[in-house]
Amino acid sequence: MLIEKNVPLESCNSFRIVAKANCMVRIASLTDIETIVAHPDWLGRSKFVLGGGSNIVLTGDIKPLVLKVEMKGRRLLEDNAKAFIVEADAGENWHDFVAWTLEQGYPGLENMALIPGTVGAAPVQNIGAYGVELQDRFDSLDAVDLQSGRMFTLNAAQCAFGYRDSVFKHSSSSIGLAGRTLITRVRFSLPKLWKAVLGYADLERKIFESGIAQPSAQQIFQWICDIRRSKLPDPLVIGNAGSFFKNPSVTPEQCADIIARDPKIVYYHLADGSVKLAAGWLIDACGWKGKSVGNAGVYEKQALVLVNRGGATGGEVMTLAKAIQTSVYERFGIRLEPEPVVV
Ligand code: EPU
């Protein structure tokens, strides 16, 4: 097994931040994981799992051994009365997997088209867009405990999915699995009784403009790609990690208090009685759209996305993020929480 030294990570993170992995190993099979877990040089030492690198901010070189997940494969496991059960290996590109499911005639993931990253990283974040979250289509996943080498399977309840959250984002001091787990395969349950999810304003606009009242999954996939391309920067052109902050939840009282001061605020009522505020609007209202700190900036078309204007360091990104958090807190009394993992 080849352990590469001083590996440049610029092309391995969607922010395109310059940093190195002191040591990196490419994981292309379960055997590779077994080998590295049992490797005498790395026994008991911390490891860092890297998928597509689309949800991380690198603030320096990575000292733990980097495990670059490159396992590929996707397959139909089961075709039962209710659903297609489809499985993909962790190193598959998420968008390519979504496109493949649609080509095979298994709809259900179309609203999550073009989300950057890998299949293995998708449950960590419980990725979601345009009214569908990974947990809505999730069946189960296989993973490896990097300390013991033990393989295990988790169902949705065991993954403890929340809004951009799961058991994989919490450290092992609580009940979490962060820092000690490598997800190897993910299975999805794509219901045969497919129903289009069209509740978002951007999609309603597409229906209105096209005159297509009952779009197919393929049509929705195309619309989502068009919408995302029109307002989110392509990481291959401008480095970024998608939404940089989570949309904060507040109580109806807190929301009423903000509306009294800022009647234009964008918010959504959630089923549990709380209110979700559009973080992009809060940041925009504080005048950040298009602004920069050093080489890190706020995207011109969507204030929720921080971008690398060329040569930005992770430190510059975090300085900008903190300045945004401070101004949103001072104006609205709301603490924005970053979505990406800061390394
Ligand atoms: N808005 C502004 N100014 C801005 C940005 C947004 O006023 O600069 C307001 C607009 O009124 C807009 C509202 O905020 O209607 C919400 O914005 P948008 O519909 O673009 O969605 P979002 O809340 O910014 C979330 C997800 C995205 C996902 C979209 C669509 C989070 C943190 N982000 O963004 O996910 O694609 O909804 O479902 O939940 C990601 O996580 O990386 C991501 C891109």
Q: Does the Cβ of 125 fall within 6 Å of ligand 1?
A: no
Q: Does the Cβ of 276 fall within 6 Å of ligand 1?
A: no
Give all strands of the β-sheet with 4-8 in edge-to-edge order. Answer: 4-8, 20-27, 65-69, 47-50
Q: Give the rounded distance of the alpha carbon of 234 from its chain centre.
A: 15
Our mutation pick for probing the ligand 1 site, out of 304, 305, 334, 336, counting the most ligand atoms within 8 A of Cβ, is 304
Query: Model confidence over 301-328: pLDDT tens digits?
Result: 999 999 999 999 999 999 999 999 999 9
Query: Model confidence over 238-291: pLDDT tens digits?
Result: 999 999 999 999 999 999 999 998 999 999 999 889 999 999 999 999 999 999
Split at pLDDT 50, 70, 90, the class of 201 is very high
Q: Does the Cβ of 281 fall within 6 Å of ligand 1?
A: yes
Among candidate residues 87, 92, 316, 339, the one labeled active-site is 339
Question: Is the pLDDT reported for residue 189 higher than 80?
Answer: yes
Find the mean pLDDT for residues 217-221: 98
Q: pLDDT exceeding 70 applies to what percent of the chain?
A: 99
Among candidate residues 16, 164, 187, 228, the one labeled active-site is 164
Query: What does pTM read for this prediction?
Result: 0.94
Question: Is the pLDDT reported for residue 174 higher than 70?
Answer: no
pLDDT at 271: 87
Query: Model confidence over 88-130: pLDDT tens digits?
Result: 999 999 999 999 999 999 999 999 999 999 999 999 999 999 9
Q: Does the Cβ of 329 fall within 6 Å of ligand 1?
A: no
Split at pLDDT 50, 70, 90, the class of 172 is low
What integer best gives the mean pLDDT of the chain? 95
Q: Compute the distance from residue 253 Cα to the ligand 1 centre, in Å.
A: 23
The Cα–Cα gap between 60 and 304 comes to 24
Residue closest via CA to ligand 1's atom 24 equals: 280
Split at pLDDT 50, 70, 90, the class of 175 is confident
Split at pLDDT 50, 70, 90, the class of 1 is confident
Q: Does the Cβ of 107 fall within 6 Å of ligand 1?
A: no
243 is known as an active-site residue: yes
Q: Compute the distance from residue 302 Cα to the ligand 1 centre, in Å.
A: 8
Question: Is the pLDDT reported for residue 221 higher than 70?
Answer: yes
Q: Compute the distance from residue 319 Cα to the ligand 1 centre, in Å.
A: 22
Q: Compute the distance from residue 278 Cα to the ligand 1 centre, in Å.
A: 7
Split at pLDDT 50, 70, 90, the class of 173 is low
Q: Which residue has the higher pLDDT, 305 or 175?
A: 305
Residue closest via CA to ligand 1's atom 29 equals: 129
229 is known as an active-site residue: no
Among candidate residues 14, 54, 189, 243, the one labeled active-site is 243
Split at pLDDT 50, 70, 90, the class of 340 is very high
339 is known as an active-site residue: yes
Q: Compute the distance from residue 282 Cα to the ligand 1 centre, in Å.
A: 11
pLDDT at 333: 93
Residue closest via CA to ligand 1's atom 25 equals: 129
Q: Does the Cβ of 83 fall within 6 Å of ligand 1?
A: no
The Cα–Cα gap between 23 and 245 comes to 30
Q: Does the Cβ of 323 fall within 6 Å of ligand 1?
A: no
Domains in the chain (CATH in brackets) are: 4-69 (3.30.43.10), 74-191 (3.30.465.10), 239-342 (3.90.78.10)
Find the mean pLDDT for residues 218-230: 97
CA distances from 59 to 97, 108, 148, 234, 319 (A): 30, 36, 29, 22, 11
Question: Is the pLDDT reported for residue 178 higher than 90?
Answer: no
pLDDT at 14: 97
Q: pLDDT exceeding 90 applies to what percent of the chain?
A: 92
pLDDT at 45: 86
Q: Compute the distance from residue 306 Cα to the ligand 1 centre, in Å.
A: 13
